[in-house]
Amino acid sequence: MQPDQIRHFFAIMKAGNPTPVSELAYSSVFELLVAVLLSAQATDVGVNKATRGLFAAASTPQKMLSLGLEGIEAQIRTIGLYHSKARHLMQTCRILVERHGGQVPRTRAQLEALPGVGRKTANVVLNAAFGEPTVAVDTHLFRLGNRTGLATGKTPLEVERKLLKRIPAEYLCDAHHWLVLHGRYVCKARQPLCAQCAVRACCDYKSKT
């Protein structure tokens, strides 16, 4: 995908969805962090169902610690890997209270130091909560980057670095949401909906279909 095609690609994305947002339900930076931490190997729909009750019971790190491990597990048991996720969440909340005054830190290093928080989760929080021009490469973005020619790479980090270089600056803050939604609903893994794709003319994959 050439630079002019990339610019056209994101212009179309913006025209179709000027203010994209995450499909995870949250009302604070802390709730976003929790939702993304719980979302590994789970759908946003499944996470939202679990966090509805969890956030009603505990919407701050302090309240989450008071809920306790068993209380958290009871709320999120419908999510895969809930035992380890509950443990990581408890550990993360303890660090937030003891080291950050109960607030979610704004730097990558501090975020990635939290149990259960890797680069992808940190990128989501930095982008969605703090407006940082980051791109969190999940399975959707990794597939889409390689399939379309937007950013090819053998690892998520390689794709992320290429995306940051290739996406025009004016589109970078919203690019993550556009690409996730496009990968989730149009550029699907097994049967991409190329005939319905608004950006097909910009895509390298069209010549193979």
Q: Which of 4, 14, 44, 120 is catalytic?
A: 120
Could you confirm whether 120 is annotated as catalytic? yes
- Residue 30 parent element (H or E): helix 29-38
Cα–Cα distance, 27 to 21 (Å, whole number): 13
Cα–Cα distance, 162 to 55 (Å, whole number): 36
The answer to whether 153 and 162 have CB atoms below 8 angstroms apart is yes
The answer to whether 25 and 45 have CB atoms below 8 angstroms apart is no
Q: Which of 14, 85, 138, 174 is catalytic?
A: 138
The answer to whether 47 and 39 have CB atoms below 8 angstroms apart is yes
Two structure tokens written together for 16? 């179709």
Q: Which of 133, 209, 147, 143 is nearest to 176 (CA)?
A: 133
Residues whose CB falls within 8 Å of the CB of residue 103, separated by 6 or more in sequence, listed in order:
29, 30, 96
Beta carbons within 10 angstroms of residue 77's beta carbon = 11
Two structure tokens written together for 66? 């008071």
Which residue numbers are catalytic?
120, 138
